Each structure stands twice: as C-alpha cells, then as structure tokens.
Chain A
Amino acid sequence: MSKAEILIIDDEPQIRRLLEIVLESNDYKVSIAEKGTLGIIAAANHPPDLILLDLGLPDMSGHDVLKELRIWYNRAIIILSVQSDEDDIVQALDNGATDYLTKPFRTAELLARIRSAIRRNFGGEDKSVVESGDLTIDLTARMVLKDSKLVKLTATEFNLLALLARNEGRVLTHQYLLKEIWGTGFQQETQYLRVFIGTLRKKIENDPNYPERIITESGVGYRFQSSL
C-alpha cells in the first residue's frame, strides 16, 4: 500500500513543523496549509486520506472550514483544539469531525488517533467481532466474553457497549450515545449514561477505577479502546 497522505491545516509554524517531523518519520506523506482557505483549496486539488484541522485559524473559523470540507470530503478529519473548550469540541464532532485532540497532546496519542481514523476510512467499522485484550465482543451473536467466560449484560448495556465497540477508537458524544440508545428526548439525561457506563465497567474492566477499554473524554463523551 502506498503511503497515506495527511493534510495539516494549522497557523502555528512550530506545531506544523513538529507534526510534519512526527508524521513523516512515521511514514506518512504530509502536506501543509497555514490558512483555512488554503487548506480547502489544497484538499480539493488533491484529496488526502486524513486532515488535521486546527480550530483557531487566522482567516476563518475552523468550524467553517470543517463545514465546507464536509460538503464533499468524506474521509477522516481530526480536530486540533486548545484545552478546555469542550463545547467547541462537541460542536465540531456534531459537524462531522472524526475525532479530536487537545493541545498539548502526546505524540503516541496523536499517532493512535490517526491510525484508527485512517483505518475507518476503509470501512473498518464493519467488523462483527471486536477484541480488546482478553475481552471479545461478538456483535452479531450479541455475546461478550471476558477471559473466555461469558459476561452477563442487560440489553441496554450490550447496546451501549456494541455502539462504542463498533466505533472503536472514536469518541462518541454524550448526546449521540443517548439518542442512539434511549432515543430522542433523552439527550440531556447524562446521568443514565454515567450509570450504565459505571455498571459496564464493573463487568468488563480489570480495574473499573482505572478503565482501559471505555475511556471517559471529560465534558465530551466516551471512547472504546481496543489496543491496551
């Protein structure tokens, strides 16, 4: 397979340079745009496999860049944002961002997000069995095994776990999860989610206090992680 191509849209030269070095040394082909308009043109001229998009751009809002890109571009877009704008992140995810990273981020995390987002470009989500260490989730048989032993889950617990596992590696917002599992009208009932995530963790995590599979993204949502 040829090298995957990544377009970076960010106005900070230092961050751009750093990303470029990290990505090139990990065998990605990198192109760069320092403004939103330039980024949209670059993506249209030569569609990359993934776009890293900074939300704070000088010429136009990152949200608008995202919306314009999403009209025709359907591969992965990962948002870069400064810490503590949770509303910003949720809005970007609602507008079709694949994932997000907050600055400052760790390199290992960046690479993991990119790998998982590019994998999903090629229809990675159609798996019928998701594995994570000693945990096996059989989505068609609606069965969960931990350490080869059957884990008893209620219907709601299973639906929630299956939804997260099907979108493995990707953050799902509270609102999205509530709507998918409980239906419209429940989007504000985040306490349901907390409770069910809590009981799920007790059943599938080795240490529910330090979860390794269902990861909390504070103020945003949850993410299922398969590689420990």
Chain B
Amino acid sequence: MLIEFIKKRQLRQILFSIAMILIVSLVCSILKTWLSYKGVALILLMGVSVLAMTFDLIPVLISATLSALIWNYFFIPPLFTFAIGNTDDILMFSLYFIVAMVNAVLTNKIRKAEQKARDREEKENEVKLYNTLLNSLSHELRTPIATIIGAVDILNINEKNLSVANKKELINEIGKAIARLARQVDNLLNISRLESGMLRPKHTWCDLTEMMHQMLNSLDEVERNRISIHADESLPLVKIDAGILEQIILNIIYNALAYTPEKSKICIYIEVLSGQCKFIIEDYGLGFPEKEIALVFDKFYRLPKSKTGGVGLGLSIVKGFVEALSGKVILENHQGGGARFILNFPVQTSYLRNLKNE
C-alpha cells in the first residue's frame, strides 16, 4: 500500500517535473531573440532549483538531466545536435550538469535535515505533554485515594473514640473522594475514546429538557442549586447522541463550578431552531483572559495561575466531543463578566410532541 502510494506520488512528480522543464524551455525558446544561450542555462537551472524545493530526489535528478540535454540540443550552437562546438561550451555544459545535480542533492539533504529536526521537536513536545499528564494525573488520582486511605485508617484505628458526627464526616469525605475519582476516570476514558477514534455517535431521539434535568440530578445539591435551565416549554425532540451531549455539557459545568466563586449562578439556555439546536452556558466568574481563549480547548492546557486540581482535559474533551457530533463550540466573555460557551449542533427535529395524542 505505502510503496504503491510512494510510486504513484513519484510518478506524478516526475511527470510534473518534465512538464515544467518543457514549459520553461519553451518560454526560453520564445525569448531566444533577446537571450543568449548562457542566460537560458541560468533560467533552466532556476527551474530545477524550484523543483528541488518540494520534490523528491529522483524526479529532480531526472529534470536536471533533461534540462541539461534540452539546453545542449536546442540552445548551444551548433543547434539541433548534441555536439558542442568549442571548449568553452563543453566546459559550461559539464558545469551546468554538475551544478544542477549538486543543487538537487543539496536541497534534498537540507529538506531531510529539516524534517528530522521537526520530528525531534514533535517528539520532545509529546514527551513534555506526557509528563504534564502524568504529573497532573498522579496528583488528581492520588489526592482522592489518599483521602480514602486516610479516612478508612482513622475509622479502623480510632473506631471507639470517634464521635458519630466525626464518623459521618469521614464517610462523607470518602464519598466525595470517590466522586472525584469517578469523574477523573470518566474523563480519561473519554479522552482515550477520542484518541483511539472509537467514538461513534449513536443518534437517537432525545428529549433535551428531560436529559438536562437527569444530568442535574447526578450533581450534588449545592452544585445543582447554582444551575438554572432556561428552555421553551415545548422544545421538539432532537436526534442526537444524548450520552456524548451530556458529557459535553457536564464538562463545561464542572469547569464553571470549579473556577467561579461559590454560590455564583450558572445559566443554561436551550434553543432548537430548524435543523439545529443551540446551548448557551453562562457563568458569573471572571471569564477567560482574551488572549487565552484560543488555547483553552487544547489538551492539558490550563490557565496560568489557575488553582491546583484539574488536569486540563475537560475542555479538550468538550471540543473533541462537539466535533464528533459535527457541532461547533464558541467561547467568549459576556458583559455580565463571566464566560459564555455557545454550542451549536446540526440535528433532525421532531415536532411530534405538538400533535394531539389519542
């Protein structure tokens, strides 16, 4: 497969090189009245150099040879023969041939070296990303695990001395730590589904109002009380992968819950227009610095000086999932001071809801 592809690509390059040399030669033959054959050599050489900038070695060598022959046959006197009249021209022809070849080989070498440098840089970046992930992950996973181990130990060792209230609090902490672990694991599973390309949306009819309320039910009461949903009473059904959509909105909400002041509101607006549905999620935190907005959807990106906790995966999952649903996500700051996420998805809608039922 790969070999075939390379062959095809090379064949294309060879054909293109030949065509280009022929065209340049043709132009030179038109300009012949004003040009000496020595000037023609430089123009042809330039043609070869241009080809060398992007093409593989073999097509460039072929075009170098071809141009040398054309120059000899059509331009060096005596014309229309490969014979060359004087020593000067023989020298020039030989030099032309050598320069063209050296040119081709050198340019190719430079390009290869550049590619190698790029690869190395990419690999270094990958290692850096991987290290960032490991660091933040080990923090994000170990903190709740440490909480659980600690609480269980205290419950085991001091069982008799602990007051009922303290015991309850410890158990509560264990519960919270587990919820945090579960969120992290969900996100890791999500990112690996994205990376492996195994994310295949399953679009089924979905009642958005129901879905949103069900989603809120998965949050704890304090979190839930900060969120309000604004949607038309009679939203039509839409055909969408509700599971993926839920993960998108949950990730935006988790983000808002974590990085805006306690008790500040988060508003979700839902709108279904013909052929698309739109979600607007607004918080009342500080918003995002304008110059960081373009970066926040990058994997492992975290705002400078953001508080500890978090891996920087949430919003990159949002972006990946939105794209998996062929949607768009826009992030901006609104006038109330705070972030506004606008999500748009193309969907089929069903107004069956408005029919009378018997």
A161-201 residues with Cβ-Cβ distance < 8 A to B are 190-192, 194-196, 198-199
Q: Which segment, of B62-70, B71-79, B84-92, B349-357, faces chain A?
A: B349-357
B357 touches A84 (CB 8 A): no
B358 closest partner in A (C-beta): A154
Taking the complex as formed, is B213 at the interface, i.e. its CB lies under 8 A from any CB of chain A? yes
Which of B204, B205, B213, B352 makes the CB contact (< 8 A) with A209? B213
Q: Chain A 95-124 against B: per-residue CB contact (8 Å), 1 yes, 0 no?
A: 000000000100000000000000000000
Which residues of chain B come closer than 8 Å to A157, judged between CB atoms?
357
A196 touches B357 (CB 8 A): yes
Q: Quick one: given A194-B207, A209-B213, are A199 and B237 in contact (CB under 8 Å)?
A: no
Which residues of chain A come closer than 8 Å to B204, judged between CB atoms?
190, 219
CA distance A156 to B213 in the complex (A): 25
Give chain A's interface residue range (CB within 8 Å of chain B): 10 to 19
The smallest C-beta distance from A185 to any residue of chain B, in angstroms, reads 17
Give chain B's interface residue range (CB within 8 Å of chain A): 10 to 19
CA distance A191 to B210 in the complex (A): 13
Q: Quick one: given A104-B182, A190-B205, A195-B353, are A216 and B237 in contact (CB under 8 Å)?
A: no
Q: Quick one: given A191-B205, A194-B237, A210-B213, are A199 and B243 in contact (CB under 8 Å)?
A: no
Taking the complex as formed, is B264 at the interface, i.e. its CB lies under 8 A from any CB of chain A? no
Taking the complex as formed, is B329 at the interface, i.e. its CB lies under 8 A from any CB of chain A? no
A190 closest partner in B (C-beta): B205
Q: Specify which of A190, A191, A198, A199 lies most central, judged by the most chain B CB atoms within 10 Å of its CB.
A: A191
B206-228 residues with Cβ-Cβ distance < 8 A to A are 206-207, 209-210, 213-214, 217
Taking the complex as formed, is B242 at the interface, i.e. its CB lies under 8 A from any CB of chain A? yes
The smallest C-beta distance from A112 to any residue of chain B, in angstroms, reads 17
Which of B209, B217, B242, B357 makes the CB contact (< 8 A) with A199? B357
Which of A191, A210, A219 makes the CB contact (< 8 A) with B237? A191
Q: How many A-B residue pairs have CB under 8 A?
A: 43
Which residues of chain B come closer than 8 Å to A154, judged between CB atoms?
357-358
Q: Chain A 145-165 against B: per-residue CB contact (8 Å), 1 yes, 0 no?
A: 000000000111100000000
Which residues of chain A come closer than 8 Å to B213, judged between CB atoms?
209-210
Interface of A, helix, strand, loop or mixed by DSSP: helix
Q: Quick one: given A191-B237, A210-B217, are A218 and B243 in contact (CB under 8 Å)?
A: yes
B214 touches A218 (CB 8 A): yes
A198 touches B357 (CB 8 A): no
CA distance A144 to B149 in the complex (A): 51
Which residues of chain A come closer than 8 Å to B207, judged between CB atoms?
194, 198
CA distance A209 to B242 in the complex (A): 17
B300-358 residues with Cβ-Cβ distance < 8 A to A are 350, 352-353, 355, 357-358
CA distance A198 to B355 in the complex (A): 13
CA distance A52 to B340 in the complex (A): 46
A-B pairs, 10 with minimum CB distance: A191-B205, A209-B213, A190-B205, A194-B207, A191-B350, A191-B237, A195-B353, A195-B352, A154-B357, A154-B358
Q: Which residues of A contact B (CB under 8 A)?
A: 84, 104, 154-157, 190-192, 194-196, 198-199, 209-210, 216, 218-219
Q: Which residues of B contact A (CB under 8 A)?
A: 182, 204-207, 209-210, 213-214, 217, 237, 242-243, 350, 352-353, 355, 357-358
Known: A191-B350, A198-B210, A218-B214. 6 other contacts (CB 8 A): A154-B357, A156-B358, A157-B357, A209-B210, A219-B204, A219-B243
What would be 6 A-B contacts, judged by CB atoms less than 8 Å apart? A194-B206, A194-B207, A195-B355, A196-B357, A216-B214, A219-B243
